[in-house]
Amino acid sequence: MTAAVETGSRLLQARVRLACDIERASAVLSSRVVEAFLNVPRHSFVPVFYRSDHTTRLTSGDGEAWLREVYANRALVTEVDGLSTAATSSSTLPSLMADMLDALDVRPGDRVLEIGTGTGYNAALLCHLAGAENVTTLDCTAPLVTAARDRLHNAGFEPVVLTADGAAGHPGGAPFDRIIATCSVRRIPQAWLDQCAPGGVIVAPIGGALDGGAVACLTKQPDGRAVGRFLAAPAAFMPLRSGAAAASDAPESVEAAQRTTPVRSNALNDYGFSFWASLHLPPNVVRQAGRLHDSADGSTALVRDHSDGSSTVTVAGPRDLWEVVETAHREWLRRNRPRREWLTIEVGVEGQIVRYAAPDGSVSRWVL
10 Å CB burial of residue 161 (0-12, 13-18, 19+) is buried
Amino acid at 276: W
Q: Which residues, at least 6 apart from 138, have a Cβ–Cβ distance to it below 8 Å?
A: 113, 114, 115, 116, 117, 145, 161, 162, 163, 164, 166, 170
Task: List per-residue pLDDT tens for the chain, 368 residues long.
Answer: 455 555 678 888 999 999 999 988 876 789 999 999 999 999 999 999 987 777 788 888 888 888 999 999 999 988 876 555 667 788 899 999 999 999 999 999 999 999 999 999 999 999 999 999 999 999 999 999 999 999 999 999 999 999 999 999 999 999 999 999 999 999 999 999 999 999 999 999 998 777 778 999 999 999 999 999 999 998 888 889 875 444 445 555 456 789 999 999 999 999 999 999 999 999 889 888 779 999 999 999 999 999 999 999 999 999 999 999 999 999 999 999 999 999 999 999 889 999 999 999 999 999 99
341 close to 229: Cβ distance less than 8 angstroms: yes
- Asked about 90 being catalytic, the answer comes back as yes
Neighbours of 281 (CB within 10 A): 21
Domain edges within the chain: 3-183, 257-334
Marked catalytic residue, from 26, 44, 90, 311: 90
In this structure, whether the domain defined by 3-183 belongs to CATH 3.30.70.890 is answered with no
How far CA 155 is from CA of 28, 45, 66, 128, 356, in Å, comes to: 28, 9, 19, 11, 44
Spatial contact of 112 and 176, defined as CB atoms under 8 Å apart: yes
Instruction: Look up the pTM and report it.
Output: 0.92
Buried-state track 135-144, b at ≥16 Cβ within 10 A, e below 16: bbbbbbbeeb
Q: How many residues would you count in the chain?
A: 368
CA atoms within 13 A on the CB side of 308: 4
